[in-house]
Amino acid sequence: MKQIKNVYTFVEKNVLPTGEIQDKVPPLQIFTYEVRKILYPDLLYDQIPNLLDLLANVDRYRAFIIEKAEQAVAFDRFYKHLHTDTLGLTEKEIKDLEEYSIHAEEMRGVYIAIVTQFCELDIYQLWMTTGKLSVVWPRLTEYFPMIGDKKGKRVEPSRDFLLDLSAGEQEQLRKAGEECYDYLELSSDLAANREDKRP
């Protein structure tokens, strides 16, 4: 733990004041380091909102890498077509780069499934540990703004992971949000009925 504190202190005193990295996207290693700190050795439930935003940034890196891989293959084909003696990518490199594109949609689906499951886990965890709708409801509308607030009014997305969702992905999250809402409603009704039946 002391080593981590030393790294933090070094960055805080020597790197941040220079201003060199303040306008740049942090390297992927920073995001993966933060994700690992939240997940291992035990999941830090109170950090799930931050985990979701970190995962969104990792997914943006994935999308950027796929875009660059597609561009590399396109440029390679273009220049090889113009000049047959041009040194370009090997067949193995082209195949490897094309594999990224082939699996892009599948990997995005995995990301959305992970996000959805962590949202649900956090809602259930909050409900089971607090038992208070006043604590759970703000998180529910934070994760699932498409289902609206208590008055049914649509809420603007505030979390990073909600910003670049397709219509289908929004629908998938909306359904998960409705399931969480139904669960909370049913379990709070059951709890209220138990209280009413106590002598």
The pLDDT, as a whole number, for residue 77 is: 87
The pLDDT, as a whole number, for residue 16 is: 62
What pTM does this model have? 0.78
Is the per-residue pLDDT at 23 higher than 70?
A: no
Q: What is the mean pLDDT of residues 43-48?
A: 93
Q: What is the mean pLDDT of residues 75-86?
A: 81
Is the per-residue pLDDT at 58 higher than 80?
A: yes
Whole-number Å distance between alpha carbons of 51 and 57: 10
Q: pLDDT tens-digit profile of 132-142?
A: 888 999 999 99
Query: What would the two tokens of residue 87 be?
Result: 């040194």
Whole-number Å distance between alpha carbons of 152 and 146: 10
Q: What is the mean pLDDT of residues 90-105?
A: 90
Is the per-residue pLDDT at 115 higher than 70?
A: yes
Query: What would the two tokens of residue 10 be?
Result: 């070094």
Q: Residue 139 corresponds to which amino acid?
A: R
DSSP H or E run through 62: helix 48-82
Query: What would the two tokens of residue 193 be?
Result: 């009925």
The pLDDT, as a whole number, for residue 95 is: 92
Percentage, residues of the chain above pLDDT 70: 81
If you average pLDDT over every residue of the chain, what do you get? 84
DSSP H or E run through 114: helix 104-130
